[in-house]
């Protein structure tokens, strides 16, 4: 009996590989509290690169909360680097507010900043601002290297600052931060016109939160935290880097920023799946082919789409050759 077998196995394998593109190592937990945890981050022994990438899934509250264990920061989101999308690797975290030691609202809260020295994380210059709240004060940030930046907040009314846009004239100011920032100190300088017994504090915050709609500082003061963004990579000389720092067909690595309009060297290495691939480049064989022909839109405008490794071809129907196997 003759059998005609269409050779579709390779296409099926491509489809299954894309669906199964790994983000974690082995059987490590992929999420905590709805947040995806891609390697080199991980939950549990053997699931993270080193102690800075360890995520503790805190289930002591009503819902699971992912915590970046070493700096003790709540994780809101983790994204892998994306070179063709122009994005560095990012971690959105809930960063503690820094209170003026002599302020009325400090209580037992911190007056020191989070320190990332020793890690391969930096406070994102492009995604964060330094903000300060208080009437008639100057707040200075010393990056402990070579720069001091700051902003001045003025306010003519003695009313408590509640909902403001951080314009600098409404009891709140903000400014850009220095590049490659890992550690800093904050200095509060109230002037002679500053109200007595006022609550003064500063924080690094996600600049996307500073929109035209005002921030509720009563809620902010009560929570003691504000969303901020860290950029991350891996050590250029690490074991993981030595295993993956190869320009392959499916991924590439670089020590230059992916989201800078000019070549800007980063203090760490970033890897990204190449265009036409998806997955996690920090895992062996972690970048898998994307079948563009099965996407939500037709990339060939009615012509036949043929998937290729990392790409696709658009061909006329009359030029398609079907491979068959004939036998008994």
Distance, in Å, from the CA atom of 120 to the CA atom of 269, rounded to the nearest integer, reads 9
Q: Is the pLDDT of residue 56 over 60?
A: yes
Rounded to two decimals, the pTM is: 0.83
Residue 103's pLDDT band, with cuts at 50, 70 and 90, is low
Q: Is the pLDDT of residue 8 over 70?
A: no
Q: Is the pLDDT of residue 32 over 70?
A: yes
pLDDT at 322 (0 to 100): 43
pLDDT at 323 (0 to 100): 37
pLDDT at 88 (0 to 100): 96
Instruction: Give 237 or 58, the one with higher predicted confidence.
Output: 58
Residue 3's pLDDT band, with cuts at 50, 70 and 90, is very low
Distance, in Å, from the CA atom of 151 to the CA atom of 203, rounded to the nearest integer, reads 12
Q: For residues 227 and 219, is the Cβ–Cβ distance under 8 A?
A: no
Instruction: Give 290 or 105, the one with higher predicted confidence.
Output: 290
- Measured in degrees and rounded to the nearest 5, phi and psi for residue 191 equal -100, -175
Instruction: Give 93 or 240, the one with higher predicted confidence.
Output: 93
pLDDT at 326 (0 to 100): 40
pLDDT at 89 (0 to 100): 97
Length of the chain: 328
Q: Can you tell me the mean pLDDT for 255-283?
A: 90
Segment 152-161 long-range contacts (CB within 8 Å, at least 24 positions apart)? 158/195, 161/133, 161/134, 161/135, 161/217
Q: Is the pLDDT of residue 35 over 70?
A: yes
Say which range, 128-142, 229-243, 259-273, has the weakest mean pLDDT: 229-243
Q: Is the pLDDT of residue 38 over 50?
A: yes
Residue 16's pLDDT band, with cuts at 50, 70 and 90, is very low
pLDDT at 42 (0 to 100): 97
Distance, in Å, from the CA atom of 140 to the CA atom of 202, rounded to the nearest integer, reads 10
Distance, in Å, from the CA atom of 10 to the CA atom of 309, rounded to the nearest integer, reads 11
Residue 278's pLDDT band, with cuts at 50, 70 and 90, is very high
pLDDT at 7 (0 to 100): 31
Neighbour tally for 69: CB within 10 Å: 18
Tokens at 111, concatenated: 């007056």
pLDDT at 22 (0 to 100): 79
Say which range, 213-222, 231-240, 314-323, has the weakest mean pLDDT: 314-323
pLDDT at 53 (0 to 100): 97
pLDDT at 23 (0 to 100): 93
Instruction: Give 239 or 175, the one with higher predicted confidence.
Output: 175
pLDDT at 41 (0 to 100): 97
Neighbour tally for 308: CB within 10 Å: 13
Average pLDDT of the residues of the chain: 82
3-state secondary structure 125-165: CCCEEEEEECCCEEEEEECCCCCEEEEEECCCCCCCCCEEC
Residue 156's pLDDT band, with cuts at 50, 70 and 90, is low
The DSSP symbol for 170 reads S
Cis peptide before 40 (omega within 30 of 0): yes
pLDDT at 197 (0 to 100): 66
């Amino acid at each position: 009996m003759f059998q005609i077998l269409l050779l579709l196995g390779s296409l099926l394998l491509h489809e299954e590989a894309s669906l199964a593109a790994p983000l974690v190592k082995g059987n490590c937990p992929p999420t905590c509290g709805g947040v995806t945890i891609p390697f080199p981050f991980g939950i549990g022994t053997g699931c993270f690169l080193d102690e800075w990438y360890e995520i503790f899934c805190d289930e002591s509250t009503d819902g699971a909360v992912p915590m970046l264990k070493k700096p003790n920061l709540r994780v809101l989101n983790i994204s892998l680097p994306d070179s063709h999308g122009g994005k560095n690797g990012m971690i959105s975290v809930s960063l503690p507010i820094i209170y003026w030691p002599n302020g009325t609202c400090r209580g037992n809260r911190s007056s020191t900043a989070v320190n990332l020295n020793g890690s391969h994380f930096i406070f994102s210059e492009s995604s964060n601002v330094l903000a300060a709240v208080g009437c008639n004060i100057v707040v200075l940030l010393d990056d402990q290297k070579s720069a001091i930046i700051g902003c001045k907040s003025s306010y003519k009314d003695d009313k408590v600052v509640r909902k403001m846009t951080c314009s600098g004239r409404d009891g709140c100011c903000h400014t850009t931060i220095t590049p490659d920032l890992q550690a800093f100190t904050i200095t509060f300088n109230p002037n002679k016109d500053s109200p007595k017994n006022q609550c003064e504090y500063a924080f690094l915050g996600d600049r996307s939160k500073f929109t035209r709609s005002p921030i509720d500082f009563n809620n902010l003061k009560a929570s003691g935290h504000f969303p901020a963004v860290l950029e991350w990579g891996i050590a250029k000389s690490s074991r993981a880097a030595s295993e993956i720092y190869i320009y392959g067909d499916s991924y590439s690595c670089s020590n230059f920023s992916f989201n800078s309009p000019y070549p800007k060297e980063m203090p760490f290495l970033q890897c990204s799946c190449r265009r036409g691939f998806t997955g996690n480049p920090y895992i062996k064989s972690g970048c898998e082919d994307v079948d563009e022909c099965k996407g939500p839109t037709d990339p060939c405008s009615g012509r036949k789409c043929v998937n290729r490794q990392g790409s696709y071809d658009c061909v006329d129907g009359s030029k398609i050759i079907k491979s068959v196997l004939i036998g008994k």
